A and B are shown apart, each in its own frame.
Chain A
């Protein structure tokens, strides 16, 4: 993919750009709490490991010493109490879920099905983890379905069975609903909200937005996500109410190409990766939930991905 192609401007107009969202004050968190450290993966010498840092980018600590991995789909997430991190790794040759303590001790493997288990996200009480698990359909290929597993690695279960990609199930803070993104309905990508058992799934974004990678605000009112998933266009970060109304674009890819956003536990910041030049490795930024105050907090010469902000343990 050449640079010129990467920088071809998006041609699609989105009437919803004009939608106005009035932010209420954020009194809570991704899971409510005081802002703790940020976990992310960073490439060094071409291989990824898990790192954490303070909210201002200081005190970067490497917390895994796993075999060399070039697969960037680790997508780490803090447990609600900020004491553990779930992530995926391909040390066995397949992406499996792992849990590690926030200080890097106590690494344990959760899934063992030699499949493809990605996008782990904790339940509100920390007892289970939802994730996307590969399901093979002869003659149609293979699809990620939403799945759940107990935090001790027992009882993995599929939750959804659509012959499309269901990805990144993220709980609402009340634990009753989840958001995810999917290619259901023959769409490149869209955000969906469902009960946590997978039932009553409702699509909340419209094409051609191609919305993906949702995170729910700590007060359960707002989703942050990026657009242009599964397209050749570069992404922007958006917010919307959890019913899909109040769509608002926060970043402008002509200035900063940005995606993979997540809320801080106090709801007052959004963390994300981006780079002014898309083909350059993404760094980690933060901004206010209205899109102001964009600030580079960690430079990554070889690229950082999928930051997630934990509560103070």
Chain B
């Protein structure tokens, strides 16, 4: 199929780019537990951790959408990704106050899509992934919150996508999802500030997504559909790759168990918020549990968060375009993120 795809000169990573732009990963910084931010449709909302006092922060026009949000360490600001709702548009990086006020553009460049921003622990810089417009390659970049000092942190390499970067709470390590390194579809990687080589955190078959640092920097939560048959679950791992743990256990029948996505530690490190979808994806909920996986409590029920596109038709079309391989990467979601109380 290599020839079938490449001869047609269609860039085979477009779908991956489009799909991953809505797949989150981030760090939670230490603090007192504050509000939880999440997405419904094209907009950002916040709520109390018990689901009360829901407030809408953005009001996107019909042709624009937010697909990513991330709290500042002090809980006073949110950096977010906004862009044209059409997949062909480039991602833009925006900032706003925690109440939705003072929305302002930080970065947009015509020839790149700049996506999935996160704050550094000092709150002065933003990490993000910069992809070529066709997402043939993506690397991790940093920029000051004032838009100055743009700098690459990982290499641009054809076919390699480094995505969803976040800094460890001590600022010494960069965590990201690496796609296509060494023949592996996706794995979590760490890069030290000392220039040491990339370290792969997760075993090859695991298929991890959406990593999130605990506020003490000792644990990373992520979502995976390991292994076969796969049900999406929340797992944790230490930054040295040890102590791989399955926090939610959704059984081995994909169509009988729930599906868990987008874990985010509480700033106090005592809980994890995540999205749990019904077995048939007829509804979604934002759920809170203790850091050890016990004590599940539903905070809020949401309308179905994954648009029920005609997957068959779109898949056929995409495969005909030579993009057979990235359909397994999930799309959509509420992306709950737990912020610190200001």
- Chain A residues near B (Cβ < 8 Å): 1, 5-6, 8, 12, 71-73, 90, 94-95, 114-116, 134, 136-144, 161-165, 167, 183-189, 207-210, 212-213, 226, 228-235, 259-260, 273, 278-279, 281-282, 303, 305-306
Contacts and interface: CB of A to CB of B under 8 A. Distances in A.
Contacts, number: 154
B12 interface: yes
Contacts of A232: 136, 158-159
Interface string B239-255: 00000000000000010
A138 B6 contact: no
A5 B325 contact: no
Given A232-B159, A233-B159, A208 B183 contact: yes
Contacts of A229: 1-2
A165 B185 contact: no
B302 interface: no
A200 to B, nearest CB: 13
B229 interface: yes
Contact of A207 (B8, B184, B327): B184
Closest 6 CB pairs of A and B: A208-B183, A232-B159, A207-B183, A141-B327, A142-B315, A185-B205
Contact of B207 (A72, A137, A186): A186
Given A1-B136, A140-B254, A230-B12, 13 more contacts: A1-B10, A8-B158, A72-B4, A72-B8, A90-B320, A138-B306, A138-B308, A143-B327, A163-B328, A213-B1, A234-B6, A259-B2, A260-B1
Interface string B1-40: 1111011111110000000000000000000000000000
Given A72-B8, A163-B230, A186-B204, A140 B182 contact: no
Interface of A is mostly: loop
Nearest to A69: B320
B277 interface: yes
**A90, A114, A141 pick with most chain B CB within 10 angstroms:** A141
A183 B315 contact: no
B54 interface: no
Nearest to A116: B316
Interface in B131-185: 136, 158-159, 180, 182-185
A163 B136 contact: no
Interface string B179-212: 0101111110000000000000000111100000
A282 B254 contact: no
B3 A260 contact: yes
A183 B4 contact: no
A161 B324 contact: no
Interface of B is mostly: loop
B122 interface: no
Contacts of A134: 312, 315-316
A212 B1 contact: yes
A305 B330 CA distance: 31
**B2, B12, B186, B331 pick with most chain A CB within 10 angstroms:** B2
B259 A143 contact: no
Contact of A95 (B228, B281, B316): B316
A142 B3 contact: no
Contact of A142 (B204, B227, B229, B312): B312
Contacts of B331: 141
B228 A136 contact: no
B311 interface: yes
B256 interface: no
B341 interface: no
Nearest to B185: A186
A310 to B, nearest CB: 21
13 contacts: A1-B11, A116-B315, A116-B319, A139-B306, A141-B331, A163-B225, A185-B227, A186-B206, A189-B183, A230-B12, A232-B158, A234-B6, A260-B1
A114 B331 CA distance: 23
Contacts of B259: 139
A303 B7 contact: yes
Given A303-B7, A305-B3, A186 B254 contact: no
B216 interface: no
A308 to B, nearest CB: 14
A141 B306 contact: no
A278 to B, nearest CB: 7
Contacts of B99: none
Contacts of B230: 162-163
B292 interface: no
A260 B315 CA distance: 23
Contacts of B3: 235, 259-260, 273, 282, 305
Given A73-B4, A139-B259, A231 B159 contact: yes
B183 A235 contact: no
**A115, A137, A143 pick with most chain B CB within 10 angstroms:** A137
Contact of B186 (A163, A186, A234): A186
Contacts of B280: 138
Contacts of A282: 3, 7
Contact of A165 (B7, B10, B311, B324): B324
Contacts of A213: 1-2
Contacts of A234: 2, 6
B187 A186 contact: yes
Nearest to B312: A136
A158 to B, nearest CB: 13
